[in-house]
Each structure stands twice: as structure tokens, then as C-alpha cells.
Amino acid sequence: MRRLTRRRAVNGAVTVLGGAAVLVALVPLASLLWLVVSNGAAGLSWTFFTSLPTPVGEPGGGIGNALVGTLYIVGLACLLGLPFGIGAGVFLAERGDGRFGRFVRFSSEVLAGVPSIVIGIVAYGLIVVPMRRFSAMAGAVALALLMVPGLARSTEELVRLVPGALREASLALGVPEWKTSLRVVLRTALGGIVTAVLLAVARAAGETAPLLFTALNNQYWNFSPDQPTASLTVQIFNYAISPYEDWHQKAWTAALVLLLLVGTLNIAARLLTRSGLPRETR
């Protein structure tokens, strides 16, 4: 009886400590969200989403080119990074037990721990210096390098969750291994992989440092991959470090837009998580 009472007391104390820890973590998060919403909501308007930035002292202006530039650069990064990330994950799950597989897995883990600013410097040396100009393509390469390692590990874990009976049944019917991987295994894990893709895109959309070294910025509309291109994060950075109060207000509003964009992607990923895993693994 005494032991049961002590266990209940310990359980209650740990529950209280856990709840207190959650509150400690939620207070700065809630204050940050409130600060961004309260300072940025007043500047939301249709023209803010569609207009180009204006010079200092002129009223109006917006982040239209930066918003489109972010979608453009992230889209290019997806075209470059998703095939390599998903392909590497499938390879690690299917053939990753050998020496080369261990090397790929180790490289992925190392790359996942590299700071984003270092990735930006690497992309600067590989793309910007040979081209002698900043460009959207250089920014896309940097973001793709950030997306690949996390996407590879997530895809590997999701493919490993697919029941082996499905793979064996497909092979028993005479289907080649590569078709089994693509049409059976990958299709079964597709919901979870889409979730991992959305999380990778959300991370890429919120990066600033790599784009400072690669895409830089542009005050105008640009859809050419070999020219400097505006992005939402760099625009926020430029507005925030300026000494002008009007630009500070625009920085708050742009930060709110970025928060809504990243938050939407994360919420979509959470919703897809509920139905993204094979039934046998839930």
C-alpha cells in the first residue's frame, strides 16, 4: 500500500512537472505569435500581395515580387531535390544494408546537420562564382541541398513501414523488383511521403541565409532562373534591418504572411499524417 501511494505521488509530481514544462514552452511561442499577428495584421491588403516594393518615403508598395519569387525558387528546389531525396530514401530502405548504403546514410546524416548558411556558401561557390551572378537557380540548388537529407531519412522510414507481405506478393507474381518498389511499395507509403515533402517544403520556404548568398534579391518581377530573384525571407530581412519605420511595418506584415504560409504547410502535413501510413502500421 505504501509503495502504491509513493508511485501515485511520483506520478502526480512528474505530471505536474511535465505540464509546467509545456506551459514554459508555450508562453514564448504564444507571445511570439501574438507579437507577429498584432504588429502585422494591420498591413494586410490586396495591394500588399500584388505590388512591388516602393522606394523610401513613397506610400504603398508590397511584396508581390518576393512572394512570387519564393514560390518560384521553392518550386525549382522541389524539381531538383524531391527526386533525389525520395529516390535516396527508397534506395536506403530497399538496398541500404551494404557498404554503399551505409555511406549514403552517413552522408545524409552529416548533411542534415550542416548549418544552412554553410549550404549557402557551398552553393555560392558551385553556382554563383562560375556564373558570375546571383540567380534563382543558385537559390534553388541551396534549398534542394537542405531538403534532400531529411526527405531521404523520412522516406526510408516510411518505406520500411510497408508490410513485407505486399512486396513478397508482388515478387511472387513475377513483377520485377524496380516495378515492385515503384508501383507497390512507394504507392503504399505515398501518403506519408507527401507529408514529408510538405515539411521539407515548409523548411525550405522559411530559409534566409542560403538565399542571401545565392538568389540575393530583386526589386522587380523576375521569372528567369539565371537572374537575381526576390524572396519573402530576404525581403523581410532587408525591411527589418532598415532604419525606416514604414519598412519595419512591412517587415511585420511580411513575417505574418510567411508564418501563415509555413503554418498552412505544417497543418496540411499533420492532417495527411493521419491517413498517410499503411493501415497495418497505425
Q: Which domains does the chain have, with CATH numbers?
A: 63-281 (1.10.3720.10)
Q: Which residues contact 265 (CB under 8 A, 6 or more apart)?
A: 198, 199, 201, 202, 205
Amino acid at 267: I
Cα separation, 258 vs 74, whole angstroms: 13
Cα separation, 230 vs 235, whole angstroms: 7
**pTM of the full structure:** 0.88
Q: Per this entry, what is the length of the chain?
A: 282
Cα separation, 109 vs 89, whole angstroms: 12
Q: Which residues contact 263 (CB under 8 A, 6 or more apart)?
A: none
Q: What is the pLDDT along the chain (282 residues), one digit of tens a residue?
A: 778 888 888 898 999 999 999 999 899 889 989 999 999 999 999 999 999 998 887 888 899 999 999 999 999 999 999 999 999 999 998 888 888 888 999 999 999 999 999 999 999 999 999 999 999 999 999 999 999 999 999 999 999 988 888 888 888 888 888 888 888 888 888 888 988 999 899 999 999 999 999 999 999 999 999 999 999 999 999 999 999 999 999 999 999 999 999 989 888 887 876 654 544 444
Cα separation, 147 vs 210, whole angstroms: 12
